[in-house]
Structure formats: C-alpha cells, structure tokens
C-alpha cells in the first residue's frame, strides 16, 4: 500500500479509537459508584438486563448510544439519554428492547430521553417489531418539565403510541424493575402484559410522600404500589417476579410463544463476506473531507462477494447506482461518487456534487427498486447540488426536486450511512433523517451541516465584520483571523457526528465494519412489515 493509504489508515483508526473511548464512557451511565449502589439493592443495570435478555451469539445493534452526549451539563449530564435501546433477538425472535438506566438521575426523563423513547417506538411501529420495556424510572425530570411534558412529541406521546401499537397488533411487554411513577405508570399497564419485581418494583400515580401531603394518608411505597399490591389486590400487573433475572426469564417465556409474522418478502440468499478486505476501508477513506476517492472501492468492501451490478454506469457519474447483496439481502445502492469524473462531452464534474444527470439517474433507479421490492441503501458523501448559471439554466432545481420526490415517496425500506460530508440539500436528496430512513448511522469520519465549516465560517465572518464596521469599529487582520478561528471552531463542533448523534439526528456513530450488520438487522426488521401502499411520485416537473 502507498504512503497515502497508510496515513489515511492511521487517521481513521484514531477516529475509531476515539469512538471506542467515548462508548466505554457512555456504557458506565451515571458512573461506577452509582452502578455499585444499584447492585447493592440486588438490581441489575439496564445494560446487564438487556444482555441477559438477548440471545447469545446473536447480532444486535444499539440505537442512540450517544443520545444526550455533552448535553445538560448544568444538570449533571444525561449519558445515553438515560435509557438503553437495542434491536436484538429473544428466543430467536427479533425485538426492540428499551431499558431505563436508573444510574442516571434515577432514570428520570430528560427531553432527549423522551425523544429516544419515541424513536424506539417509531422503529417498532415501522417494522411491526415486538417491543420490550424494562422500566426503572423516577419519571419526568422536574427542573426541565416544560421541555418534556406538554407538547405533541413529548412524554405523553409515548402512551398514545402504546394504544396505537396495541391496535396494530404489535406485541408490547413491560417489566417494572424499579420505580414507575406518575404518568409513567401508564406505560406498563398499556402494554399487553406486565411483570413486576417483588420488593424493588413499584407502580403508583403518587408516591407515599405526595400521598401524605395531598390527603394526609400515611403509607409505605410497597404497600401503596408494590408487587403484592398490584398482583393480588389491584390486578394492575400480570406476573410477580422474585428478582430481575426471574422477570427477564418470564419475558423470554412469553416471547418464545409469539406466533410467526407475515413477511414483506424481501429477497435473501445465503450470505457471503466481501471478496475484498473490509479492513482496507480505513486506508481508502481520505483524512481530509475535501479529498477525492473512489466510492466504488468502498462499496466493494461492503457487499457480498464484492459483486455490484452498476446501473447507468456511464451516465450521471457523480452518483453511483446499482444492485448488490449485503449479508444475503438484495439491496439497491445509491452512493455519492467522490472522484473527479469526465463526461462524454469532455466536461469535468466534481465528486460529491449532485448534477442534473445524477439526480435524474437516481430518481429512475429509486423507481426501479420500488417496482422490484428491493430495499434502498444510501451511502452519503455529498456537498450538495451543483450551483451556477449553467446548472440553474439546465434545471438543476427541477431535477433535484424529482430526486427528493422519489426519496420521499419510496415505499421500500431505506437505510442511510453517512460516510463523509452530508451538506445542505444533498443531505435531503440522499435520504437524511427527515426522509424516514428505517435506520441512519454515521461513520466517525462524517460531517453533517448546511455547509462545510470553512465555508460557513467565511460567511459568518463576513456578517460579523460587516456588523462591526457599521458600529464604526475597525478590526485588524490578526483580530479577523482570531474571529474566524473562533467561529470555525464553534461550527466544527456542531458538524461532528457526535453532535448529531447526541440529538438523535442519527441513530448512532458506528465503526465502518459494523455497517453490514446494521443494514442486515434493519432489513430483517423491515421484513416484519409488508408494504401496504404503492409507489407513486405524484405531480413532478418533467
């Protein structure tokens, strides 16, 4: 391998090392001391509960691991959004599991906690996946109640979803393994079946202190709403468990008896590993986000047998389209080509930019995949649509709108992997979060923003300096550079993949070598939900 490959490899492996360090910190939740206190109560942590519940040697993926990252620092932080969410297998059946992390503010709900829970339910609804709730929460985090309580996408939406999911026939099972208070008490009871752990689990609309203050009644929490009360007196819960493991074993027993599901019928053959070494991705992906590289080489290291049937190869070359298999599943791939390409007319096109012919090709390919019932995989490294008089006169807005229309109306499941740049309208056309990908993940090399940090900093600098000049202030070249560096540093932080993951604009930051697993798990989940409507582009400018 050449020197450039080695430099790229070193850079990307450092990014991967940083990812692993960040994740190791996130896995500790509220910290080792709180984990120890949790264990002292005879309780398992959220991650221990999920690990015990999921089958051995079965692949699983974690959704929103970096939710809340570097947020709410004035409140002590909220690692992983105070809740752990995984898609995995229980007794051979694919499920999504949601577990409150009581080591983080006693499992209290921050705004990002609500958003993450709603994302888990969204995945369950879209894919008709059984969902398991492992409840251990003190309820809404009161200092931020105005940001989590009243709005459409806030806390209450979860119970609304419980009701809708039940009407859809989606299995919901809850285990109360700690506190379950106030409005949160409705979640397990709106599930199909509810388990409660004796002596550590409790459910009530108001705890003993509030009951004393409100009506003057003196009562302890277990008598008020413990396992014996709800299993033998109120009938609120269905099963009493002796401890956490017993509760999780009861969930396994229930799941093992769920009947088969109707499949969507996505095509799958025996899986094969890529013929070209996936580890080489680290050396192929350039250190600088401005450098060119061949996206085809990345695709070769993601797909089965490194076999890719390219569609319209010589046309619209800044987008690659074609058919392949990932872990045996048939997929249609749409990827931004990052090399400088030459058209038959001799015109040079910049890699990572969407031109009219590229948008036209992608639109047609999306329609073909919908016709054939083939899931779509978007590999993003896009700086946006081509600008300038030639593009505008050629109808770039019209062609871009056709592509956005096709992405929006696609009825087959879509999966998005952000490899590099994800800027402006390019993010939209390549199935960004707003366009309902079933799963969306970013590599550590990803950047998400309206434009690059360099471009944005220049624009913001011009606005700032113009404002200062209006005030009669003069700034030297040195001061201008310092101002530019400050603006760029702030903007660069906001385009980080971790900034996006913290706000659940993506489902996670992943090692490139996990990409095949994410897509395979995602398509298997999507296969639970048969397509219920036809692909229709609606009205478009031709």
Average pLDDT, 10 consecutive residues per value, the chain (542 residues): 90 97 96 94 95 87 96 94 97 96 91 95 97 91 83 87 95 94 77 94 82 84 87 92 97 96 96 97 93 96 98 94 98 94 73 90 97 97 81 76 94 98 92 97 93 72 78 77 80 90 97 97 97 83 62
Backbone angles phi, psi at 482, to 5 degrees: -65, -40
Bridge partners of 62, per DSSP, are 86
Bridge partners of 325, per DSSP, are 330
Q: Are the CB atoms for 122 and 85 separated by under 8 Å?
A: no
Indicate the SS3 state at residue 109: strand
268 class by beta-carbon count within 10 Å (0-12 exposed, 13-18 middle, 19+ buried): middle
CA angle 15/9/275 to nearest 5° reads 115
Tell me which H or E stretch contains 156.
helix 156-167
Q: Are the CB atoms for 221 and 192 separated by under 8 Å?
A: no
Give pLDDT, residue 1.
59
Nearest-Å Rg of the Cα atoms of the chain is 25
Backbone angles phi, psi at 377, to 5 degrees: -120, 120
d(CA 519, CA 537): 25
| Contacts with 343 (C-beta within 8 Å, 6 or more apart), sequence order | 317, 349, 357
d(CA 457, CA 464): 10
In order, the DSSP letters of 340-394 are -EE-TTS-EE-TTEE-HHHHHHHHHHHHHHHHHT--EEEEEEE-EE--SHHHHHT
Indicate the SS3 state at residue 439: strand
Indicate the SS3 state at residue 124: helix
d(CA 339, CA 104): 46
Give pLDDT, residue 531.
94
Closest C-alpha to 128, from 506, 527, 422, 429: 527
Indicate the SS3 state at residue 312: coil
d(CA 301, CA 294): 12
Give pLDDT, residue 57.
65
CA angle 417/422/427 to nearest 5° reads 85
| Contacts with 495 (C-beta within 8 Å, 6 or more apart), sequence order | 447, 448, 449, 452, 453
Indicate the SS3 state at residue 222: helix
| Contacts with 94 (C-beta within 8 Å, 6 or more apart), sequence order | 87, 88, 129, 130, 521, 524, 525, 528
Q: Are the CB atoms for 149 and 143 separated by under 8 Å?
A: no
Place of tokens 């760029």: 488
Closest C-alpha to 446, from 514, 511, 360: 511
β-pair type (414-423, 447-449): parallel
CA distances from 209 to 176, 215, 369 (A): 20, 10, 59
d(CA 382, CA 362): 14
Give pLDDT, residue 497.
96
CA angle 339/6/297 to nearest 5° reads 35
Give pLDDT, residue 183.
62
Question: What sections of 169-314 are H helices per DSSP?
Answer: 186-189, 208-215, 221-225, 227-228, 244-256, 281-284, 295-300
């Amino acid at each position: 391998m050449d020197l450039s490959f080695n430099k790229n490899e070193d850079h990307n492996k450092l990014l991967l090392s940083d990812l692993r360090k960040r994740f190791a910190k996130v896995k500790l939740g509220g910290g080792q001391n709180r984990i120890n206190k949790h264990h002292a109560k005879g309780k398992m942590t959220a991650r221990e509960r999920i690990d015990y519940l999921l089958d051995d040697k079965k692949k699983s993926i974690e959704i929103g691991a970096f939710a809340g990252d570097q947020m709410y620092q004035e409140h002590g932080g909220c690692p992983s959004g105070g809740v752990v969410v995984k898609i995995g297998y229980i007794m051979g059946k694919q499920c999504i599991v949601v577990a409150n992390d009581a080591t983080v503010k006693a499992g209290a709900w921050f705004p990002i906690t609500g958003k993450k829970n709603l994302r888990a339910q969204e995945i369950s609804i879209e894919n008709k996946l059984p969902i398991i709730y492992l409840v251990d929460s003190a309820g809404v985090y009161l200092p931020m109640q105005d940001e989590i309580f009243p709005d459409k996408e806030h806390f209450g939406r979860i119970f609304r979803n419980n009701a809708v999911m039940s009407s859809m026939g989606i299995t919901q099972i809850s285990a109360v393994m700690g506190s379950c208070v106030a409005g949160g008490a409705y979640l397990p009871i709106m599930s199909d079946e509810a388990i409660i752990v004796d002596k550590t689990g409790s459910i009530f609309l108001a705890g003993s202190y509030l009951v004393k203050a409100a009506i003057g009644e003196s009562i302890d929490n277990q008598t008020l709403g413990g396992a014996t009360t709800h299993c033998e007196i109120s009938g609120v819960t269905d099963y009493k468990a002796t401890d956490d493991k017993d509760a999780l074993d009861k969930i396994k027993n229930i799941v093992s008896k769920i009947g088969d599901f109707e499949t969507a019928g996505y095509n799958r053959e025996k899986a094969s590993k890529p013929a070209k070494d996936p580890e080489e991705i680290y050396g192929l992906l350039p250190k600088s986000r401005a450098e060119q590289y061949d996206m085809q080489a990345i695709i070769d290291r993601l797909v089965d047998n490194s076999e890719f049937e390219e569609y319209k190869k010589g046309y619209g070359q800044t987008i690659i389209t074609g058919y392949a298999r990932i872990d045996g599943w048939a997929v249609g791939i749409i990827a931004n080509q990052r090399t400088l390409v030459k058209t038959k007319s001799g015109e040079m096109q910049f890699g990572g930019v969407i031109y009219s012919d590229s948008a036209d090709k992608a639109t047609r390919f999306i329609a073909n995949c919908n016709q054939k019932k083939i899931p779509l995989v978007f590999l993003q490294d896009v700086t946006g649509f081509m600008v300038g008089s030639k593009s505008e006169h050629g109808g770039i807005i019209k062609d871009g709108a056709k592509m956005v229309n096709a992405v929006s109306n696609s009825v087959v499941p879509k999966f998005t992997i952000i490899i590099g740049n994800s800027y402006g309208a390019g993010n939209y056309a390549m199935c960004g979060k707003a366009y309902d990908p079933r799963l969306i993940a970013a590599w550590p090399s990803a950047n998400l923003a309206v434009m690059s940090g360099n471009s944005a900093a220049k624009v913001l600098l011009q606005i700032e300096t113009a404002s200062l000049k209006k005030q009669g202030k003069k700034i030297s070249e040195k001061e201008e550079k310092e101002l530019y560096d400050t603006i760029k540093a702030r903007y660069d932080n906001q385009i980080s993949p971790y900034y996006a993951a913290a706000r659940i604009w993506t489902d996670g930051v992943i090692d490139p070598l996990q990409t095949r697993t994410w897509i395979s798990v995602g398509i298997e989940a999507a296969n639970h939900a048969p397509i219920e409507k036809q692909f229709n582009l609606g009205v478009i400018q031709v």
